[in-house]
Structure 1
Amino acid sequence: MTAWLTGWLGDWCRPEIQVLRVLDHPRIVRLHHVYEGETELVFVIDYAEGGELYDRVVEKKVFSEGDAANVMKDLLSALSYLHSRKIAHRDIKLENLLLRDKSPNSPVLLGDFGFAKYSFNDGMMKTMCGSPVYVAPEVIGGPLTFEPAKKKGYDLRCDMWSAGIILYVLLCGYAPFLGRNVNATMRLVRRGVYSFPDREWAGVSDEAKNLVRSLLKLDPEKRLTADEGGEVHPCVCLCTSACVRMC
C-alpha cells in the first residue's frame, strides 16, 4: 500500500500508514485505502458518526464514573493491543478518541496515528512529540525531580500517563496540568504535582482516584501498563456496573 507514495507527502505520511495498515482491532480506526493527489493524501478510514470525545466532554462537562469507565475500557483495550505489538501511539488526547455513533454509550475508537512509532530493541524513544496537556513528563525531558542519569528517553508507558490525563478530565472536567502557555504547562507536567479539589472530586470514589494516581506516576517504571485483553488481571472497579481491567 505504501510503495507507490512519492514526494514529501509520502515521506511525511508513510510511517503513519505503515502502522495503520497492520492494525485490526475493534477500538482502533481502520485504514481502508489511501488516495494520492498532487498536493494531498486522502485516508479512507472508519466513519465515526459521533465525532470527537472532546466535544462530548464539552457538552457533558463531567462524566459519571460509569461513563468514564466505559471510555477507559475501550481506550485501554486499544492500548493493550498496540503495546503488545510494540507500538506507541504518543498522542493520546480527547480529540483523538472518536465516538462510533451518537448514542450516550457509544464505543470509543482510537485514531490519528501521526506520531505512532514502533518501539523495538531497547524500547526507548527520544523524539519530543504529543500535546502539552496530555504528554508524559519523560517525553519532554523527564520529571524535574529525576537525576540526569535516569532521563534516557521514554517507552510505551508514555501512553499510560496520557490515559491518566483522560480519566482525570472525564471525572472533573479539566486537566490537572494547565499553565498560562505551553512552556508553563510543560513545567507543571514535569513537576507532576496535582490534587483532587473537593469542589469537583468530593463525590468521586477512592477507587477512581487511585486509578488516576496509578496512571499519573512520575516514574514510568511504577506506572500501570495496559494488558493485552485484560483477561488475566484484576479489575479496578469505577462503579458497580463497569470496570477497567489493568495490570
Structure 2
Amino acid sequence: MVFAGRQKNNKNAGEEWYLGKYEIGRTLGEGNFGKVKYAKDIQTQHSFAIKIIDKTRVIKLKISDQIKREISALKLLKHPNVVRLHEVLASKTKIYMVLEYVNGGELFDTISTNGKQQESNARKLFQQLIDGVSYCHDRGVFHRDLKLENVLLDANGNIKISDFGLSALPEHIREDGLLHTTCGSPNYVAPEVLSNRGYDGRASDTWSCGVILYVMLTGYLPFDDRNLAVIYQKIAKGDARLPKWMSLGAKNLVKRILDPNPKTRITMRDIKLDEWFKEGYTPAKPNDDEVMSVQETAVENQESRTYINAFELIGMCSSLDLSGFFEKEDVSERKVRFTSTLLPKELLERIEHTVTHMGFGVEKCNGKLKIIEEHKEHSESSRLSVTAEVFEINPSLYVVELRKNCGEVSIYRQLCDKLMKEFGVSSNQEHLATKLVEAS
C-alpha cells in the first residue's frame, strides 16, 4: 500500500498533496476511470504524469482485465517513442500508474490547429511512429487503438505512443494465430477487424498507422462520413482519395498501407525499406538495457464478460472517437458527438427540456430536433440554428450529434457545454467538440 495525504485540508484551493515520494499537482486530463495528474519526484525533481484509476469504476465497468493488460503491456516497452511506465502503486480505493510526462500535447491537437504537416515533418513523425509500433510488435504487444489522440508529442516534437488499454499480448492470440476481439476507433479500424473472422494484430496496426500518415499529409481523414455504416463501406473498399499535390512516393506508400487485403498489405519491415520512408531515417535505439522496477498491483478479481462490444469499450475510454473530425467544411463549423445508453426518445426529450429552459425554440422533424435561437435582433443568418440527432450504435449504445447550421460559435459552445453537462460528458471528451480542419 502507499500513503496518500494532502498537505492542507482545503481541497478546492488546488494545493499539492503527496503520494509516497511524489508531489501531486494540477490535473492534466480526466476520464471515466479517474484523473491524470502532474507529479514531481521530491527527491530528483523529475516530472511525471500519474494516472489515478478509481477501483470502484473499474469494478462497476467490469474492465479489470483492461487495466491489467495496459500495465502488462507497458512493462514490456522501453522505447523512445513509447510512453514509459515507471511505477505502479495502490491504495484501498485507487491504482496509481506513474508514467512519463509528455508535455507537447496530442498529435490530434497539432493537426486540428495547424492542418496538414509539411511532407518532411510528416515523414519524420511517421518514421518515429513506425519505429515505436514495430518495436511493440517485436515485444508481442499489439496496440489495436492507434489514432491521433493516442499519439503524443514531447517538448521537442517527437512522438510518444500512449494508451495501451485495448492492446493485446501473445496470450490473447487464439489457436488459429489470430486475434478475435473487435475493438478500435471507427475511422482508424482495419477492414479485417470488422469482418469478425479474426485478424493479425501486426497488419491491423499497420493499417491504423497508414490512416495517421494520411491525416498528417492531408489534414483530414481518408475514410469518413456522418454515418458509421458508410465509413465501414469505404474502409472495406480501401478507396482513399489521394490529392494530386501529394508526392508520388507518399502516394505509393499510402496505397500499399491502406490495402484492404491484410495478406497483400505492406508489412512494417517493408515500410522501413520504402524509398520515401528511408529519406533522412535514423532508427531509434530501444532502452531495453534499462532496469525498471514496477510494483505489481492486482485489480479486484471480478466476473467479467468474455466479449465486450467495441463501441462499449470506446465509450468507456477517456476520449471517444466517433466523430468525423477532419471533414472538408468551413473551420467555423463544429460538431459535437457523445455516447449515451439512454433510449433515443429519452435523449431527445431531455435535450428539448434543457434547451427550452435556456430560451431556445425547438422544432421536431423526422426524428430530429431543430434548436433555434429566439428573439434575435439581427439577421436570420446570425441566429443560432442547431440540429440534434440520435444514431444507434448497438441496441444499448447511442450517439448524440449536435450540428451547427448557422449562428454564433460562442452561443453554440454555451449550448453544447450545457447539454454535455446535462448528460454527464466529462471535460476530457472535448475531443468530440473539436474544430474541423479544412483541407488545404
Count matched residues. 222
Give 1:82 deviation, angstroms: 1.2
1:96 to 2:142 alignment: no
Listed as ranges, the gaps of 5+ residues in structure 1 are 143-150
Structure in which a larger fraction of residues adopt strand = 2
Instruction: Report the Cα distance in structure 2 between the residues aligned to 1:155 and 1:80, rounded to whole angstroms.
Output: 11
Instruction: Report the Cα distance in structure 1 between the residues aligned to 2:166 and 2:159, rounded to whole angstroms.
Output: 19
Structure 1: which amino acid aligns with 2:199?
G
Q: Which residue of structure 2 aligns with residue 209 of structure 1?
A: 251
Instruction: Report the Cα distance in structure 2 between the residues aligned to 1:117 and 1:176, rounded to whole angstroms.
Output: 26
1:33-182 map, 5 Å:
33-101=87-155, 103=156, 106-119=157-170, 120=173, 122-141=176-195, 151-182=197-228
Instruction: Report the Cα distance in structure 1 between the residues aligned to 2:92 and 2:225, rounded to whole angstroms.
Output: 40
Structure 1: which amino acid aligns with 2:109?
D
Whether the 8 Å CA contact 2:66–2:166 is kept in 1: the answer is no
Percent identical pairs in the alignment equals: 36
Instruction: Report the Cα distance in structure 2 between the residues aligned to 1:34 and 1:182, rounded to whole angstroms.
Output: 38
Instruction: Report the Cα distance in structure 1 between the residues aligned to 2:140 and 2:256, rounded to whole angstroms.
Output: 22
Give 1:220 deviation, angstroms: 0.8
Give 1:47 deviation, angstroms: 0.8
Give 1:236 deviation, angstroms: 2.5
CA RMSD between the two structures: 2.5
Whether the 8 Å CA contact 1:235–1:244 is kept in 2: the answer is no
Structure 1: which amino acid aligns with 2:168?
K
Instruction: Report the Cα distance in structure 2 between the residues aligned to 1:135 and 1:193, rounded to whole angstroms.
Output: 14
Whether the 8 Å CA contact 1:211–1:236 is kept in 2: the answer is no
**Taking structure 1 as reference, are residues 222 and 133 closer, same or farther at Cα in structure 2, changes over 3 Å only?**
same
Give 1:13 deviation, angstroms: 0.6
**Taking structure 1 as reference, are residues 26 and 195 closer, same or farther at Cα in structure 2, changes over 3 Å only?**
same
Question: Deviation digits for residues 86-116 of structure 1, max 9, x if unmatched?
Answer: 2211011000111011x4xx11011100111
Q: Which residue of structure 2 aligns with residue 221 of structure 1?
A: 263
Instruction: Report the Cα distance in structure 2 between the residues aligned to 1:203 and 1:187, rounded to whole angstroms.
Output: 26
Structure 2: which amino acid aligns with 1:115?
L
Which residue, 276, 279, 287 being the options, matches 1:237?
276
Deviates further, 36-45 or 66-75: 36-45
Radius of gyration: which is bigger? 2
Instruction: Report the Cα distance in structure 1 between the residues aligned to 2:138 and 2:181, rounded to whole angstroms.
Output: 21
What SS class does the counterpart of residue 226 from structure 2 fall into? coil
Structure 2: which amino acid aligns with 1:237?
W
Structure 2: which amino acid aligns with 1:153?
Y
1:186 to 2:225 alignment: no
Instruction: Report the Cα distance in structure 2 between the residues aligned to 1:187 and 1:47, rounded to whole angstroms.
Output: 39
* TM-score, normalization by structure 2: 0.47
* TM-score, normalization by structure 1: 0.81
Give 1:154 deviation, angstroms: 3.5
Q: Which residue of structure 2 aligns with residue 147 of structure 1?
A: none
